[in-house]
Amino acid sequence: MLLCTLAGSVLATPQRIVSLTPHITEQLFAIGAGAQVIAVDDASDWPPEVKRLPRIANYQSLNLERLLALEPDLVILWDGYQQEIRAQLQHWQIPVLEMHSARLDDLPSDLRQLGAATGHQPQAEALARRLEQRMAHLKAQQQSQSRVRVFFQLWNPPLTTVARGGWIQDAIALCGGENPFADSLVPYPQVDLEQVLVQAPELIITTQEASALQFWQRWPTLPAVARAQLQTLQPDRLQRLTPRTLDGVEELCRLIHGARAAKTQ
């Protein structure tokens, strides 16, 4: 079976894999390919056994000398975000697999692609189907629910949120949230405080520490503040596209439902 090609040659199932993005690392372990992973990037920290692996890269740079010494037979990176690293790898004729992870619905296909590339197709297919079933169930649950105005505080300062083109916005929409910044031109726009206040969000969520939400207490008439709907989410579950993302989506749906109920109290 053809798994990966480089300069026209056929590569066997890789046994020395380097992952350069946390969500790819987690996906590899989730489909049973963890034993083939020999090194990761600085941010990869799940599952716990990842912490024993060598760290050879960060988000935008690579320790090329150390990578070459490890003699990988496949490096997996996130397309569109690590192009400079990709160019280095191609120069040294290191086999590369680029993953396209942008939307929530990409998760099952990511798992299937990794399963095919690593020789773990049955495990990947089984997991992908379970996740598809969970997503379908969540969508069915939320279909008839009323909308809730949500501001997702990805970061502050600067005040940064999410928009269409990313899986967090997909999750907000799936859960019945109405994001006033969904139509922004970039997936993670920086916004002005006045823009948020005028939208009067009924729920403000962050993946930062809870203290990052105290800022909003200055506006006690804001619906989210008046109804005590300033909430936090565990960041890795929603900000990394992995099987745990569905846990994050379910948690997000519960928070949005809570804000929906608070409107009637």
Residue that is last in its domain, among 105, 129, 153: 129
- Does residue 101 lie within any of the structural domains? yes
Do the Cβ atoms of 158 and 190 come closer than 8 Å? yes
Residue 9: the pLDDT is 40
Nearest to 247, CA basis, from 26, 48, 50, 32: 26
Looking at residue 82, its pLDDT comes to: 74
- ∠ CA 213-218-219, nearest 5°, is 100
Number of domains in the chain: 2
The kind and range of the H/E element at 127 are helix 121-142
> pLDDT digit of tens for each residue in the chain (265 aa)?
334 444 334 358 999 999 999 999 999 999 999 999 999 999 999 999 999 999 999 877 899 999 999 999 999 999 866 778 888 898 899 999 999 999 999 999 999 999 999 999 999 999 999 999 999 999 999 888 999 999 999 999 999 999 998 999 999 999 999 999 999 999 899 999 999 999 999 999 999 999 999 999 999 999 999 999 999 999 989 999 999 999 999 999 999 999 999 988 7
Residue 233: per-residue pLDDT: 94
Same domain, yes or no: 157 and 61: no
On whether both 108 and 162 belong to a single domain, the answer is no
110 and 177 housed in the same domain? no
| 12 within domain boundaries | yes
* Same domain assignment for residues 15 and 89: yes
What pLDDT shows up at residue 215?
93
CATH number of the domain that residue 215 is part of: 3.40.50.1980
CA distance linking residue 100 with residue 88, whole number of Å? 19
pTM: predicted TM-score of the whole model, two decimal places? 0.91
Domain that holds residue 55: 4-129
Report DSSP letters for 167-227, one per residue: HHHHHHHHTTEE-TTTT-SSSS-B--HHHHHHH--SEEEESS-GGGGGGGGG-TTSHHHHT
Instruction: Please give the pLDDT value at position 59.
Output: 74
